[in-house]
Homo-oligomer: A and B are copies of this chain.
């Protein structure tokens, strides 16, 4: 008798396999983290549907699904803040992707005017927030 082949197992394929098998949620979306390639700053969290992921892989430019607009979105198409993908990783259970990106235009990514979306930190258990990044006047 030969030993069981671990690669026949679905969990093994998901966690250790060498083929992308993205697990989109019930809404057809997968979470996508954009991280700056040089500084390693986490710029934003957005969402991709299958088409956004495919276009990202084909073009090397980050495409997302805008939940608010209900449409495919080439990041930076109007702002110039194109995200050129240097590396795209998938996590263990293939329900999240991590993009390592260079950013075009003015180097920003956030519609509020900060260079990244995570510009506020929680200051205490009461949930008060402090701004931790330079940005536009309030």
Contacts and interface: CB of A to CB of B under 8 A. Distances in A.
**Total copies of this chain within the assembly:** 2
B121 A92 contact: no
Interface of A: 6, 15-20, 31, 33, 35, 39-42, 44-45, 54, 57-58, 87-92, 95-96, 98, 110-112, 114, 117-122, 124-125, 127-130, 132, 138
Contacts of A114: 92
Contacts of A110: 92
Given A20-B127, A39-B40, A88-B121, 13 more contacts: A16-B112, A18-B128, A19-B129, A40-B41, A45-B96, A57-B127, A87-B132, A89-B118, A89-B132, A90-B129, A91-B118, A92-B110, A92-B111
